[in-house]
Structure 1
Amino acid sequence: MKTTLKLGSLLLLLGGSVVTAFGADNTTAIEYFKFLQFGPAKEILLQNQNDAEACFYLGEIYHLENKDDSAALFYKKGLSINAEDPYNAIGEAKLELKQNQKEASKKIEKIAKSHKKDIGVQLAAARAFQSAGLEYDDFLKNARKANNQDPNILIFEGDMLLAADQVGEACAKYEMAANADESCTEAYVKYAKIYANVNPDLSIQMLDKLLSKNPSSLVAQQTIAELYYDNGRYKKAAEVYGNFIKAGHPTERDINRYGGILFQSEEYEKVLELARVELEKNPNNMVMRRLAMYSLYELKKYDDGIKHGDHLMKNNKNFIPRDHIYYGRLLNKIKRNQEAIAQFKEALELEPDNLEIYKELAQALESNGQYDEAIQTFNSYIEKAGTDNVKIADYLQLGQLYYSAASTLDSTQLDKRTEWFNAADKAFATVAEKAPNNYIGYYWRANTNAMMDDSDLSQGLALPYYQKVIELLEADKKNPKRLIDAYNYCGSYYYLRRDLPTSIQYWEKILQVDPNHPNAKKFIEGINKEIKEGIK
């Protein structure tokens, strides 16, 4: 394989292992380094600066961060600890490749030649040449001669193939490396990451296998937790990521990610505990601030939630639609309705294709008595969603919106009142049509038609719908309150029509459901008295 990749590919290739013979255990830091998590890697390595291996990896990190002065200091320090160390020597020479490629490359070749059977040294030399766009095949050949099944060689080859967009071939190399060393974190994790979007179950199986052999691998724990999260297995993600947080050296990003996983797992109290600790450290951690706001809303602690929301809106610069949605919900709950409306409109500007925001906005407008705009907004949702995507609950909500709006109008606005009640009835009819065995559509049609009937119920507009409610609810006995409502209407209707025997049957049915119902007892007593006295 003859390859001269550019420096821009280097970050992708970082994982190729260096097999070293240093004394101290920098395993966790090196694992972080291989997967570009420089923050926690540095945190560990800086505590171990008297070790040449730690100095080498610190040099590598600073080099990749384009801080070559700092990199040079650590390579030099590593050589002061062990003057014969080939890795720090290669590191120093690598920095010189920019200014004096010829001399620096000779230094690296000389070091590699004197450690011909050391696979780690050969790969370090290969990476140094690769980063400068030089051919590195000779170093790779030396490594293969030492042991062509060494997992570190296979990983390096996989990295080169991946950088050349030969994904299938790269995966084959990582799989070979994993088979060569069943506890090789790097091989398993790289393989799993490639397949994460294509076959997440396979990725999870690979990482489970790795963790059975190497349960202390923090990167494996982190990676599998994120796979669980990305595939909707939030409870499992929270469990594994929590272990990673406790055992590792989490960055603020890691902790924020954990908070998000807890929120998706509906572990709202745990989110708040995490937020309390993190916000004490950094009150301007806006990720934790927003997660606290969201969680307090879900826990119905609206006054506490609004405090976090006010702080977020005042101090944050970059908002996501969910910020405005949750803040709007909180504002609505504490009756700051006009502000809530403004927040939902902000959310729509950021995410105009999120149709659920239309429903939230319509509810806020309804709460503020802005019925015309609320109805217009909800109908916009129906139109944009399309009839195939509108749920039964949406038609129910639309009908209830029309019903509430019409109920606020008096006889001076009779035409509009009638228009809105008719629109409500149409929406509830759709509910009944789509769910014919559920009482709810008929119940709301009954309520709506009762509102449109004369005060003496002479038209009996609601009667067939209440009778259907009775038919359905007598069969399942699950909603006694609504059943009593239906009996009450029917009893009243037949009473006003002077069909006293039929009327009394409905009042007696109410007592079968609620033996202490006061109105039913009064009607029965009154009707019996009228029958006895022969009152027509």
Structure 2
Amino acid sequence: MKIKIKISLVLLSCCLLSMVSWADKVQEGIELYKCGLTLPAKQVLLSELQKNGPEAAEICYYLGEIYSLIPRSDSALFYYRQGLAIDPAYLQNRVGEGKLMLVEEPYKAEEIFKEVLSGKNKKNVGLILAVARAYAENDPEKATEYLQRAKKIDDQQAGIYVLAGDLLLEKGNNGEACNQYEQAIYFDPSCTEAYVKYARIYARSNVQSGIDMLRRLLDKRSDCMLAHRELGEICYEHSRYQEAAQAYEKCISSVCCSTREQTRYATVLFYYGDYKHSLEVARQVAELEPQNQVVQRLMMYNSYALKAYREGLAQAEKFFQSVSPEDIIGQDYWYYGRLLKATEAYEQAIPWLKKSLQLDSANTQIYREIATSWEKLNCYDSAAVYYSGLIALGGKELTLADYFKLGQCHYLASAEADSSAAGIKHRNEHLRLADSIFGYVAAQKPDSYLGNFWRARVNSALDPETEQGLARPYYQAAAQILEKDTRKKLKLIIECYSYLGYYYYLQKDIPESKTYWNKILNLQPENEVARKAIEGMK
């Protein structure tokens, strides 16, 4: 007997748990509808209706409401009537029938509403609010009348203040609407739609207030997927990518998130720097929506970031074959160019990078990447053009190294000039520009040998016979710094000493010339040039 009782209790517990779970799912669907997420709401409610549970009539009412919004009046009427067939006492479905008549047969609708709100239901706040909502779209004044009627009966019903907020929001009275939503929360701290609607309004003007309101809800219901979803949406819209990623992570597998939210999740993961996870999510969306251009570009971007260049190129080719020209953004060209550059296809990369620059002329990195691509092709004249553009653009991303690279390009471009008069003029122009730039580098970084060392090379090129000794002061300045670490910079310091030794030889200052040649032999005893130079001066 005891065993039978225990079994019965276990079965009863299981049934109760099942009913609680069913009710929770129904309420989730209703919350989704109330917060404007009609597609997932419909999905949940249709699924729960098939289980034929105790709230089936209520489910039918909200399905009718959803279909009336689409609008699909025939489907809405079907569910209102199905709800009445299941439970004739659930009169919200009768209100729904009346709602469908408001536009073409308003008098019949009013008769239905009077019928519903007669007798024992005269003070039924839930039904009065249903009628008020029926009027809300086409006759807000009538809706307000019913709202006031409900408020006189019970002014502590959260639904009254939510609807009041909705009506004010339609009029553009955002602040007053938020006050009403706060009242709803005061009377019902678990009123999800009030938190969500308040947060959405404040997200436009005071994002932190919107976020704080959602966090208040999550403090009470940490498992509220809808709240996590809204938090992700707000943070996404305001480029708060880390917070958006954290919020989406908690709800992305729930019914309130579709491929739209999954696409946004992949996007924020990319901007947050979690390229591997972003690529995984993007691939999942691509399986469901192969033509989704956002995830196609994200797969291209993430492949570049993860150094999967061949995979990225394949994705880029697929993307550009399928996308309409008007849907291409500057970053698309940029990443395609970067992928080509990363695979050493410099000549092919440059046109794509140039296209990107046309659409995003403030992106300093594109200038830098075009310049380095020209360098790889030994086209220093062209490289100098883009380094100059980078420096002209300025900005906090500009570094002294960019000036140095520009100076190098001018110096190396001078060697490309031919021996014609125009070529010599072009060569000297490059050298003068290089001299000025390396002078700037030396002044900005006086503890580095680089500015003076390269300035010495430039002036040596301007004075190829060393008649004027233009390079002397710069080689001397560079040597003073290089002498601090002769082992690592041996080749460079020998270049300095060799020039100085030769310069003083031409000046007939033999002792000074020997000093520099001997310095070379002290560092590199086997140096034949230094040894022969000293022997020639005996």
TM-score computed with the length of structure 1 as normaliser: 0.79
In percent, how many aligned pairs have the same letter?
Answer: 34
Report the structure number with the largest CA radius of gyration: 2
Provide the residue aligned with 2:43 in structure 1.
43
- 1:291-335 deviations in Å (ceiling 9; x for gaps): 111011112221111000000001122222211111122123334
Letter in 1 for 2:66: I
User: How do 1:489-504 residues align onto structure 2 when only pairs under 5 Å count?
Assistant: 489-497=495-503, 499-502=513-516
Distance 2:363 2:254 in 1: 39
Provide the residue aligned with 1:101 in structure 2.
106
User: How do 1:268-347 residues align onto structure 2 when only pairs under 5 Å count?
Assistant: 268-317=275-324, 318-347=327-356
Distance 1:353 1:528 in 2: 55
Q: In the alignment, which of 30, 38, 62 is matched to residue 57 of structure 1? A: 62
Q: Alpha carbons of 1:270 and 1:484: their partners in 2 closer, same or farther (altered >3 Å)?
A: farther
Q: Alignment partner of 2:197: what SS?
A: helix
Shift of 1:79: 2.1
User: Does the Cα contact within 8 Å between 1:504 and 1:527 map onto a contact in 2?
Assistant: yes
Distance 1:59 1:447 in 2: 84
Shift of 1:456: 6.8
User: Does the Cα contact within 8 Å between 1:453 and 1:460 map onto a contact in 2?
Assistant: no
Q: Name stretches of at least 5 consecutive residues in structure 1 with no aligned partner.
A: 1-21, 509-519
The yes-or-no answer on 1:449 pairing with 2:458 is: yes
Shift of 1:92: 1.9
Provide the residue aligned with 1:133 in structure 2.
139
Q: With a CA cutoff of 8 Å and minimum separation of 6, indicate the structure with the bigger relative contact order.
A: 1
* Total equivalences in the alignment: 497
Q: Name stretches of at least 5 consecutive residues in structure 2 with no aligned partner.
A: 1-21, 506-512
Shift of 1:67: 2.0
User: How do 1:155-234 residues align onto structure 2 when only pairs under 5 Å count?
Assistant: 155-234=162-241
User: Does the Cα contact within 8 Å between 1:446 and 1:463 map onto a contact in 2?
Assistant: no
Provide the residue aligned with 1:123 in structure 2.
129
Report the more deviating stretch, 176-185 or 100-109: 176-185
Shift of 1:524: 7.2
- 1:214-242 deviations in Å (ceiling 9; x for gaps): 11222211222234444544333222211
Letter in 2 for 1:199: N
Provide the residue aligned with 1:402 in structure 2.
410
Q: Alpha carbons of 1:254 and 1:414: their partners in 2 closer, same or farther (altered >3 Å)?
A: same
Letter in 1 for 2:343: I
Report the more deviating stretch, 59-68 or 435-444: 435-444
Q: Alpha carbons of 1:144 and 1:296: their partners in 2 closer, same or farther (altered >3 Å)?
A: same
Q: Alignment partner of 1:26: what SS?
A: helix
- 1:21-57 deviations in Å (ceiling 9; x for gaps): x956423223322332223222212211242232222
User: How do 1:393-472 residues align onto structure 2 when only pairs under 5 Å count?
Assistant: 395-396=403-404, 398-409=406-417, 411=419, 413-431=423-441, 435-436=444-445, 439=448, 442=451, 445-446=454-455, 449=458, 452-454=461-463, 461-462=470-471, 464-465=473-474
Provide the residue aligned with 1:6 in structure 2.
none
The yes-or-no answer on 1:111 pairing with 2:116 is: yes
Distance 1:232 1:447 in 2: 49
Provide the residue aligned with 2:509 in structure 1.
none
Shift of 1:534: 9.1
Letter in 2 for 1:521: Q
Q: Alpha carbons of 1:449 and 1:377: their partners in 2 closer, same or farther (altered >3 Å)?
A: closer
